[in-house]
Amino acid sequence: MTQLHLFYVFAALVTFCSVMVVGSRNPVTSAVFLVFDLFLLAGIYAMMEAHFVAAIQVLVYAGAIVVLFVFVIMLLNLEQESHGKVRVSIPDIVMMGITGLSFVIIAFLVARVPSMATVGEMTPEAIAAAGGNTYVVGMVLFTKYLWPFELASILILLAMVASIVIAKKDKAAKPGRRRTVNANQ
Amino acid sequence: MGLDLQQIQAFLDNEFAVQLIATAIKFAVVFAICIQVPPIMIWVERRAPALMQRRKGPNRVGFFKLRLWGLLQSAADAVKLILKEEIVPRGANKIFFQIAPIFGVIPALLIACAIPYGNDFQLFGYNIPLSIVNVDVGFLFILAVSSLGIYGITIAGWASNNKYSLLGSLRASAQMISYEIPLGMSLIPIVLIYGTLDLNQIVIGQSNLWNWGIITSPISFMIFFVCMFAETNRAPFDLAESEAELVAGFHTEYGSAKFALIFLTEYVVMFILSCLASTVFFGGWQIPFVPHDTLMQLIGGLHIPVLPYLLDLVGWGAPFLSLSLQEMGVHSLIASLIGVAVLFIKAGFFMWMYVWVRWTLPRFRYDQLMSLGWKFMLPVGLANIFVTAIIVAILNFK
């Protein structure tokens, strides 16, 4: 049962890193632990033989999104603001209670209700027989889930265009202002 | 002697143990090679411009009359770097300042695991691949792990508490993020053409000279070639450490062994990208016009009884004395090792290109760099994917 033991190691590390993300005072420390977190999650995916998802997880989340987090934190230089004393208020306690309760409920459901803990038809062997991870994911994305996939892409494109429109300075709005060379950059 | 053939046979029957030992040996060899790349490259990088500028370059360090064209200068530099005092600047974030070079070097050495240095070989009845990890998504693994290299640079610049370091690291990481996208896009046509994400399968697909990636997808190679330089922050894209503006960029405050580690990272990434370029576009371990099977047959027919004679000295090589390499079962191992040498020759050419370009072209301006990446490489890369996809679809249409 080496795989199970490895899973426990990864799970414990993921939990530790997640706690450190919310618990550490320095925002850069939080961001670095977030990277570890995402990387270890990719390790768990890889242990489930889902290599494609693992690689994409590292490529997109750890390699691109959190880099931008680190950028923003570094440029804003948030460190000075992080020395306030942590105070736990009543809403915080309520939220913690709700979170803990939901965790217990989910753990109970997974352990007790058989339909939530069964193995689906796409076992690692079935995927290997069907032509490998990437092939299976690609086939499902471009046949069964084609429309949701395309709609999601358009949504992301929309967000990109919207952010460019918002960031772009309007030339016509201020006719009296002298245009500088770098007005659009 | 303590060696017992029965015990050896029992050990060889355990596949897990054999693969574990093989992986450990591969790890050690690849790590040793990666460690040796920077000193040799630094030597090349000093002697090559000397050659181009008609001067001598470092040629003094040596012992007795043996000077080895100054090759020992690198060894002397390495010793000097390691023996220097470790300094952490005042006001720096101590933990991150120490960790940052390690953040850089781990991804660099991880990518080295996924390169197929040679074809799989058969030994003792087992199929042993010559890449350390043999994931079926080798391409994505390399792209994913190489994108983590940014953290080392970003955190190093931020933790130094120095404006030049911070500016240098911002430049470097913005540049690496920008050029990662065309780099990934230049590889997608290759995946489309060879129909696999497994790097070794791609090399097997390039069995002929006219099957090489550079012939089947030349535009991909051009994009990849430019991105190779930008990803490693090398000239003409070395704005991250442009001396006249930023002292030394993100590693201004680094010295001694930590600086050596940063240097190691830079050269290992260069070496890995060179290996990747030769793997994807220049047939990897394939020798042009000599298919791997032919090579195996050629080697298999040879009688080189050096190893049996050596074994005979120990006392149990006698049964091997009259056998050919194929009958001894080592011909595929030797063929694969020849493939490794071929790959390293090809990669060495790209390493030379790095030096050559550095001492030939002047530096870009930063806005030129960004507009080249986003306004030229990205659209060309997308168009390349589109056209390649259509052509592949037409060719596969039945």
pLDDT digits (tens, 9 = 90+) for A39-54: 888 888 888 878 888 8
* Confidence at residue B2, expressed as pLDDT on a 0 to 100 scale: 52
Domain A1-82 -> CATH class: mainly alpha
Cβ-defined contact of B151 to A35 (cutoff 8 Å): yes
Q: Cβ contacts (< 8 Å) between B140 and chain A: which residues?
A: 51-52, 55-56, 59, 134
The answer to whether the CB atoms of A64 and B177 lie below 8 A apart is: yes
Q: Tell me: the pLDDT tens digits for B94-134?
A: 888 888 888 888 888 888 888 888 777 777 767 777 777 77
Mean pLDDT by 10 residues, chain A (185 residues): 80 90 81 88 84 84 83 70 65 90 87 69 74 80 89 92 83 54 48
Nearest to A133 among B93, B137, B180 (CB): B137
Instruction: Map chain B to HEC letters.
Output: CCCCHHHHHHHHCCHHHHHHHHHHHHHHHHHHHHHHHHHHHHHHHHHHHHHHCCCCCCCCCCECCECHHHCHHHHHHHHHHHHCCCCCCCCCCHHHHHHHHHHHHHHHHHHCCCCCCCCCEEECCEEECCCCCCCCCHHHHHHHHHHCHHHHHHHHHHHCCCHHHHHHHHHHHHHHHHHHHHHHHHHHHHHHHHCCCCHHHHHHHCCCHHHCHHHHCHHHHHHHHHHHHHHCCCCCCHHHHCHHHHCCHHHCCCCHHHHHHHHHHHHHHHHHHHHHHHHHHCCCCCECCECHHHHHHHHHCCCCCHHHHHHHHHCCCHHHCCCCHHHHCCHHHHHHHHHHHHHHHHHHHHHHHHHHHHCCCCCCCHHHHHHHHHHHHHHHHHHHHHHHHHHHHHHHCC
Q: Which 3 state secondary structure label does DSSP give A80?
A: helix
How near does any CA of chain B get to the CA of A86, in Å?
22
pLDDT tens per residue across span B52-111: 888 887 777 777 777 777 778 888 888 888 888 888 888 777 888 888 888 888 888 888
From chain A, the residues in CB contact with B147 under 8 A are 58-59, 62-64, 67
Residue B311: is its pLDDT beyond 70? no
Q: Cβ–Cβ of A56/B140 closer than 8 Å?
A: yes
Smallest Cα distance from A32 to chain B, Å: 9
Question: How is residue B270 written in tokens?
Answer: 């260069």
HSE-CB for B251 with a 13 A CA cutoff: 20
- Tokens coding B99: 């960790």
Helix then strand count (H, E) for chain B reads 18, 2
Residues of chain A neighbouring B197 (CB-CB closer than 8 A): 134
Nearest to A59 among B93, B143, B154 (CB): B143
Taking an 8 Å cut-off on Cβ atoms, the answer to whether B141 and A55 are in contact is yes
Asked if B170 and A52 come within 8 Å (Cβ–Cβ), the reply is no
ipTM: 0.74
Helix (H) or strand (E) segment spanning residue B202: helix B199-205
Q: What pTM value is reported for the model?
A: 0.81
Would an 8 Å CB–CB cutoff place B145 in contact with chain A? yes
Instruction: Please list every residue in chain A whose beta carbon sits closer than 8 Å to the beta carbon of residue B151.
Output: 32, 35, 67, 70
Of B136, B147, B155, the CB nearest to A64: B147
Name the residue in chain A with its Cα closest to that of B158: A74
Instruction: Return the domain boundaries, chain B.
Output: 77-286+329-396
Q: In angstroms, what separates the C-alpha of A163 from chain B's closest C-alpha?
A: 17
* Cβ–Cβ under 8 Å, residues A124 and A48: yes
Name the helix (H) or strand (E) containing B145.
helix B138-147
